[in-house]
Chains A and B, each alone.
Chain A
């Protein structure tokens, strides 16, 4: 790391790096492993073999950690100019925007099904014959507890062939139990995360550690409740991935959100360790924490949308 490193006044253009090719390779192993495992599960006869998937995942996580570590080391060595720091900030912001669009896609699916496709299957408007011919006796309501397939008497009695079996849930998830608790948890965690930020800016290290630690506890509790909710859904409500479109939209939205909460919580945990163990961050240089906190607030906002459109309405 010699040539272009001019310290804080020129833009740091890194030397050649092995990180990217290693990461790309492990991602390739990861997806190959996933595809091979899934195909044996669904199309093959034998048991699914997931070895490659785990190998790839391991490589991915390790290399990502090495990568982030290197950028942290560079920053602490003073190689990052203000301009480079701004590049990183822009990178994170636009990454979050892409995540917004990812969720927008699934919300769009939910709205489309609830407001258009569902009523059409039920024979609304010009789609009367769809209902009469293909799915007689199907009435649309949300949450959809009787799938069109069940309405016509099961997979053997439906006109379109070759589709799989979809049995609607016995009950839908009510908003007032775990979801409400989770909403309170997550919204509170956004506030504590903000307090942590304020504390860091004021150079109050122990307050920062405390607020951030609290945020983490709230976040992981959320994940725990969410897991419990899934357990309940599968074991008592009959709400599964196979439970028709209600189950599909429910799990894809809450599932990806839960996954993002986990990611955010892991990111914040790393920042917490950096602060408590490593003594990183100063009142004016705290990008790792800031980026993670942006992500965290984003995940919270998505949850509010989820709470409204998946659970309440």
Chain B
């Protein structure tokens, strides 16, 4: 057998990294940095919206903030954080020595800091940063865009390349590196959800690349893809974007499903209820996510047949989603549950994600959506699924696996406080947005009618509370890494299941150099 190498010293360890754990760590810290930056943008937005009238920033800058907030959170915070988890966990969960293609893994990561430096630098460019919303609809993003749009476009190309390579790596790892005996239907659900997510990414990231490429052509080379004067169509942009965009929201939530499906059984001390149906539900969600994109476009004037098709197809997604929620709840049913922080976040996830799912169902009804569209109701919907969904599950994951990674236990009290502040802050911030939305407050505006004041103040206060909770989170994580109470039990959590809990704690630098035999 080969001798074991420890990590290299100093900065080289990170820059030249090929170890899946190092790269996972890089991804996680990078995404947290983006989470803070994107969060700062959100705080600016909420501060401006605290009162009606223009308070602090110009409408132009407000538009840049909503745009950059969305882009940074989706592409910089949430997606890379789950790739980081995948890097850390998938090899340990399937008994592989590393990711299948370690050097490409490093490349996938290092493209991201460059991409986001380019994107964020646009804030300082003449004409300002992108201001057309994270969905960058043409012609706002073409004919009327600031010059920095070119930098934005290439930034998106880089992120796309990074995602595609990362996903190919994950697919190759899962298909090719499973330990003997680890059949597909024995894989932990987190691995399953990531396999399907990676498939979605490889399928739709190129379409996003196509969309921004056509923008680039329209802006700089005189084509008319999104310009009716030349025979093109701005609505075409929306179709292409949402063909990417809807699968994208499932790219964000599927790994979160996976995380929760690992944690709930552990703290319920029961195996996951309906494993097979979870796998099939994930696969059907992935399939359906390709045929529902135009539910974002009910108001653009599609033919009625289109409206109906996309409406029914969208509603169909509620079925597999419901299967999942049912399975999580049934897993908890009659379990001997304890409420450590990861479990709290997971239960919070199930509860709040379900609310987000229901508002999604409301939005799916085409005639109703004509009212809700582009209102704060939509904002409330997607923050329930993306923040209380993806970000909550990410918090849960960090608390759950951090002791395994660094051999130290986080402070449970502080963790619980983090959860409750986050939970309460989140709901104060976003629940009222349902009401202002239904009452007609449009999204993406720096000013609003007086009757929306109270709810907006609440929203802003909640947002600040939620933001503050993240500082506590950061503190807790750092404290754990440098001074947490040592754990050396491989199991860490009494009810935890899976290969990653059979290796020593903290996880050695190289694990499973010879594959384990899975029974």
Task: Give residues in A with beta carbon < 8 Å to B.
Answer: 2-6, 10-11, 13-21, 23-25, 27-28, 31-32, 34-35, 38-39, 41-43, 67, 83-84, 86-88, 90-91, 94-95, 97-99, 101-102, 104-106, 108-109, 112-113, 117-118, 120-121, 125-127, 134-135, 144, 147-149, 155, 158, 160, 162-164, 166, 240-242, 244-249, 251-252
Contact = CB atoms under 8 A, between A and B. Distances in A.
B205 interface: yes
A240 B230 CA distance: 12
Contact of A245 (B213, B230, B303): B230
B471 interface: no
Given A3-B2, A98-B202, A104-B207, A87 B100 contact: yes
B223 A241 contact: yes
A17 B106 contact: yes
A20 B17 CA distance: 9
A118 to B, nearest CB: 6
B57 to A, nearest CB: 24
| Binding site secondary structure of chain A | helix
A245 B229 CA distance: 9
Contacts of B219: 42
3 closest A-B pairs (Cβ-Cβ)?
Answer: A105-B210, A166-B230, A245-B231
B73 interface: no
Interface in B147-206: 147, 150-151, 153-155, 157-158, 161, 164, 167-169, 171-173, 175-177, 202-206
Given A43-B147, A86-B176, A248 B217 contact: yes
A99 B516 CA distance: 36
Contacts of B227: 163-164, 166
A14 B213 CA distance: 35
A246 B223 CA distance: 9
Nearest to A104: B207
B482 interface: no
Contact of B172 (A21, A43, A90, A144): A90
8 contacts: A28-B111, A42-B219, A98-B205, A101-B204, A105-B206, A164-B230, A249-B225, A252-B213
Contacts of A109: 210, 214, 225, 236, 240
B2 A16 contact: no
Given A18-B16, A20-B104, A105-B206, 14 more contacts: A4-B510, A11-B97, A13-B98, A16-B16, A24-B114, A35-B150, A35-B154, A88-B101, A125-B303, A134-B228, A163-B227, A166-B230, A166-B231, A245-B231
Contacts of A31: 118, 154-155, 157-158
B447 interface: no
Contacts of A249: 225
B207 A105 contact: yes
B111 to A, nearest CB: 5
Contact of B203 (A25, A101, A125, A242): A101
B231 A16 contact: no
A242 B223 contact: yes
Given A16-B18, A23-B107, A38 B220 contact: yes
> Which of A17, A104, A134 neighbours the largest number of chain B CB atoms within 10 Å of its CB?
A17
A34 B229 contact: no
Interface stretch (B3-11, B312-320, B366-374): B3-11
Contacts of A106: 210
A17 B114 contact: no
Given A31-B154, A42-B220, A98 B232 contact: no
> Which of B96, B169, B220 neighbours the largest number of chain A CB atoms within 10 Å of its CB?
B220
A3 B265 CA distance: 38
Q: How large is the interface on B (under 10, 10 to 19, 20 to 34, 35 or more residues)?
A: 35 or more
B513 A144 contact: no
Contact of A27 (B109, B114, B231, B232): B114
A247 B217 CA distance: 12
Contacts of A21: 15-16, 106, 110
A41 B230 CA distance: 22
A102 B209 contact: yes
A27 B155 CA distance: 11
> Which of B144, B172, B228, B239 neighbours the largest number of chain A CB atoms within 10 Å of its CB?
B228
A108 B241 CA distance: 12
Interface string B1-43: 1111100100011011111000000000000000000000000
Nearest to A44: B147
Contacts of A244: 224, 230-232
B187 to A, nearest CB: 17
Contact of B107 (A10, A20, A240): A20
A13 B102 contact: yes
Contacts of B225: 109, 245, 248-249, 252
Nearest to A255: B217
> Which of B13, B19, B164 neighbours the largest number of chain A CB atoms within 10 Å of its CB?
B164
B4 A3 contact: yes
B146 to A, nearest CB: 9
Interface in B388-410: none
B485 interface: no
B164 to A, nearest CB: 5
Contact of B233 (A39, A90, A108, A113): A113
